[in-house]
Amino acid sequence: MTRGYVIPIGGAEEKVRDADILERFVRLCGGREGRIVVIPTASRLEDTGQRYQEIFSKMGARNVASFEITERSQCSDPEFLKELERANGVFMTGGNQLRLSTTLGGTPLSDMMRERNLEDGLHVAGTSAGASIMSEHMIAYGDEGPTPSSQKVHLAPGMGLMPWAIVDQHFRQRDRLGRLLSALAYNPRLVGLGLDEDTAAVYGPDGVLRVAGSGSITVVDASEVEFTSMDSADRFDPVTVIGVRLH
């Protein structure tokens, strides 16, 4: 049993010059000999999958397929499942994470991705929406601003590839500390990962998280929270959270 890498990216990653994150993903997947699957389901743009196919091909990957999945029924397609079974890596694009979770969640395709990542060395990367869905408790949407509140964030089930974390993206650029703190106030046992744009958390099978890209990661550790007022806060009220550690 060999666990694969999990690589959530904060969005707006460099794709041509200084494309360290995407190039690292291609190398992990085997370079020229690797097989990469792109899942552009989160995006409404018709050419998103093709665009990433071209990017990975220019980086040396010779076997890149795009799964143009728009309906849940397609996640049981034998051809897609066969291709995924042979893949070394999966890349989920940005867009709307709820479109990802409601289309892929609980399907044979999603189950195979999770099982192969845990046991068969499949590397899974995702940018923006594709990063958020890696959490078990996924941030579906929320408001900007630094202060946590009872209505700052809305959660939905994710894929659970990083069950110990809640991932948020475009973090400093969109001022999302408040909504990450709000998510942790609901579930204080988790660690929040706020990913800046063009920045990735490269989480390896050794349990070590490494930072790649040009920005930074804000780590919000809620494991020692002493008190949260989320249970008693009125709608839109600020929420008290005591004992959070920020790195």
Q: Where are the domains of the chain?
A: 6-246
The mean per-residue pLDDT over the stretch 81-99 comes to 98
Has residue 1 got a pLDDT over 80? no
Q: What is the predicted pLDDT for the residue at 31?
A: 97
Active site amino acids: 128, 170, 197
The residues near 77 (Cβ < 8 Å, ≥ 6 apart) are none
Q: What CATH number does the domain located at 6-246 have?
A: 3.40.50.880
**pLDDT tier at 114, thresholds 50, 70, 90:** very high
Contact 196, 216 (CB under 8 A): yes
The residue to which tokens 């995924």 are assigned: 84
| Cα–Cα nearest to 149, from 170, 179, 171 | 179
**Side-chain half-sphere of 100: how many Cα atoms within 13 Å?**
31
Buried b (16+ CB within 10 A) or exposed e, 85-106: eebbbbbbbbbbbbbbbebbbe
pTM: 0.97
| Rg over CA atoms, the chain | 18
Has residue 147 got a pLDDT over 70? yes
The mean per-residue pLDDT over the stretch 181-193 comes to 95
**pLDDT tier at 57, thresholds 50, 70, 90:** very high
Q: What is the predicted pLDDT for the residue at 180?
A: 98
Tokens of 148: 């946590």
